Structure 1
Amino acid sequence: MENLHIVFWLLKDVSWCMVWKPLGISMIFPTLAIAAVIAWRTRHLKSELAHNLAIVLWISANSYWMISEFFHFDEVRVAGLITGKHLALIPFALGLLVLAYHYLFQQPREATTQPEQAATP
């Protein structure tokens, strides 16, 4: 499933690069769906879950950005200096926050609660 996910992701990004709107847009759902399934399947491993949630948010941001360029609202001002494509910063930032929480709070807490392994002779 992870390998198929990469194929869909690459097809989406190549379509974006080549401005193949129908293929690019149609690749959003399978790419995002498989990323969500992978995150769900790894939910019991906190580190994997954090990274896979960040990937889901990254693909969401990336897909929104692609759509904003395809439909030419990427440069449309939304508020002040903020344009349509700048709204992709929201899921990008959420992904960074998930990882920051993991590395700053969750991982150090896990390291201190791990029982020390006995040295083997």
Structure 2
Amino acid sequence: MENMHILFWLLKDIGWCMIWKPLGITMIFPTLIIALVITWRTRDIRAELAHNLAIVFWISANSYWMISEFLGFDTVRVWGSLTGKHLALLPFLTGLFILLYYYLVQKPREQPAAT
């Protein structure tokens, strides 16, 4: 399943790169669905859960950014100097904060105490 996930992700990004809108947009769904399934399956392993959640948010941000370019609102100002594509920072930062929490809070708690 993880290998298929990479295939769909690559197809999505190739569609984006080549401005093949139908391919890029269509590949969002299997890419994101498989990422969610992988995240669900690894939910009992905290390290895997954190990293897989970060990947889900990364794919979401990446997909939103692609759509903003395809539909032409990537350069539209939404607030101050922030444009439509800058809204992709919300899921990117969410994934980053999940990983920061894992590495700064959760993982140190998992380390065995030194004797």
- The TM-score, its normalising length taken from structure 2, stands at 0.97
Structure 1 residue 36 displacement after superposition: 0.4
Match of 1:55 in 2: 55
Separation of aligned partners in 1, 2:112 and 2:12: 41
Separation of aligned partners in 2, 1:32 and 1:98: 18
| Identity among equivalent pairs (%) | 70
Could you give the per-residue CA deviations for residues 5-48 of structure 1, whole angstroms, max 9, x where no partner exists? 00000000000000000010000010000000000000000000
Asked whether 1:110 is paired with 2:91, we answer no
Match of 2:17 in 1: 17
Could you give the per-residue CA deviations for residues 38-96 of structure 1, whole angstroms, max 9, x where no partner exists? 00000000000000000000000000000000001000000110100000000000000
Larger Rg: 1 or 2? 1
Q: Which runs of 4+ in 1 moved over 3 A?
A: none
Separation of aligned partners in 1, 2:99 and 2:74: 27
Separation of aligned partners in 1, 2:47 and 2:81: 36
- The TM-score, its normalising length taken from structure 1, stands at 0.92
- Unaligned residue ranges in structure 1 (runs of 5+): 117-121
User: Number of residue pairs matched?
Assistant: 115
Separation of aligned partners in 2, 1:45 and 1:110: 11
Letter in 2 for 1:75: T
Separation of aligned partners in 2, 1:87 and 1:64: 8
Match of 2:101 in 1: 101
Letter in 2 for 1:6: I
Letter in 2 for 1:93: L
Structure 1 residue 4 displacement after superposition: 0.2
